[in-house]
Structure 1
Amino acid sequence: SELANRLQRERAAATALISEQGDAEAFRLRTTATDKSIAGFRSRTKGLSSVPGSAQGALDRIERFIEEMPGLRAQVRSGSSTVSALAFGYRIVIADLNSYRDGIAQADGVDADIADRIRAAAALSEAAEHTAQQQVTVMRAQAAGGFTTASQRTFDAGRMGYTESTGVMFDLGPGEWRTWLERTLSGAKALEARRLEDEIGRTGTGKDLTVSPEEWQKAADDRQELLRSVEKRVDAAVLAQVSDARTTLIWTAGAEVALVVLTLVGVVVVAIRLGRVMIRRLRDLRNAAHEVAHSGLPAVMNELSQPGA
């Protein structure tokens, strides 16, 4: 989710640059932050021993996008890319990042409760993406002199998508996650973003937006930062649960191995003891046979060979 957040911020900076609402330096800073996040993401995924099929497909697509990013960024700097093409490219890779997490939840052997929490965390990331797309949609409308019918529909879909995604999170995640989100979004910054969103939503098509680009970008950035803070807490909670489950499995496996070893040792000890008893009895039998053959039998034969026997 960290990489998705960095890409969302880079997309907003790129949109601002192309639509003349931002500058090249702000875009450069965002790309630098994204590159650091990409390095961390690659480092973490490189150490994975195996990845489920659907997650691997998403991972491959993410890697291809990363390889193509220098060209996309060059188009942004030169102004040769359209805002819609730019937004589409970023949207696809961010969707793949969320699909990657869903793919992990669907892997064989994943505990059902852990899988639900991974899906809940992915749903929160999807909610953050809906608000990030909404941010870009408004920026495009501001540059174009108002909403078109299509962009108005996209804006409304973003609001609905956010509500649906948070609903999934509430259904699958523990109650405290809902508390974290609601408390985080009850502050002044979140309320200001909601106020501007409502004002923009009432504007209608073909009319200039009364909210300035500076106001909207600041409010939208603040809201994304708040959502990111909740994502971090949720991700940490999922990681802790996965780590606990892993530790439990390790201890269980260790106990099973120890039990097997103890069983084998017990079998060996019993076998040795039984073997010693059998060897002792066989030795006694051999000695008795030896005594009969060398002492008892000759004596009997000698006695029988005597006259009058």
Structure 2
Amino acid sequence: MRTTVDYGTGEVRTLNNGVVMPALGFGVFQTPPEVTTRAVETALETGYRLIDTAAAYGNERQVGDAIRNSGIARDEVFIETKVWISDYGFDETLHAFDKSARKLGVDSIDLFILHQALPGEFDKTVDAYRALERLVTDGRVRAVGVSNFMPGHLTDLLERTEIVPAVNQVEVHPYFAQPALQEANAERGILTQAWSPIGGITSYRGDSERSTFTDPLILGIAEQYGKSAAQVMLRWHLQQGRSAIPKSVRAERIAENFDVFDFELTAEQLAAVDRLDTGVRGGPEPEDITLETFGLVIPEA
């Protein structure tokens, strides 16, 4: 199995199984299918080589279309997608892979992730992860991971499975940094990948004073470098060793978010951003995820 690929511009992260992944990726959460193809095409033209999607987003097919339209060789684009909880279980998750691969138009997926833990039905979570392990053995997936798993979920999973997740994709931004979870990931050799890395989720609260985009400290640092608040936050992630997957459908923002490799924050600035953590989660509480509340049917096509 290939592990090292030249992804061109940008930084990379070496996962715990030796697979190399771009550090900065492009996310398509809540991006409508009708605009996903063009947004991903723009991202690939800009230089992104990691694209993150999920079965639950409903836009895997459009991501695959964009990658084919780009003319970039398949092995030069790192594709990451996720299994939704409704498809947990060993056979069900193997079938979920088939659905995702068919929509993406690929034979293999670079990083295949469980989208959430099911705390109240953890046997289903374990069976789903064992299916991911089988996909690795069969050579259909290069690396496997989890998303929104808390330290207790990781401990329970590792006690009952063989492959340590390569990635745990979780909410991390300056207002919600989850340092204990990041430490738990690091202790296990799991890369922390940040969703909502520039705190877009904070702007949904209706409190403009608490949005990361308007935070005085972040704006002050941005002014020193002639950069935007988003660019400062992405540097914060990259310099602390995380992967980050910002999203946008605007060409200028897509380009701006990738233009973060020509400056560095000081140790003092990194620490100052760390101190902005409020401990307030923006997304769903991982312990509250149930099939009754969050289940949905993932279509075959």
Q: Same fold (TM over 0.5)?
A: no
Higher relative contact order (CA 8 A, sep 6+): 2
- Which structure dedicates a bigger proportion of its chain to helix? 1
Identify the structure with the greater strand proportion: 2
Structure 2 length-normalised TM:
0.28
| TM-score, L = length of structure 1 | 0.28
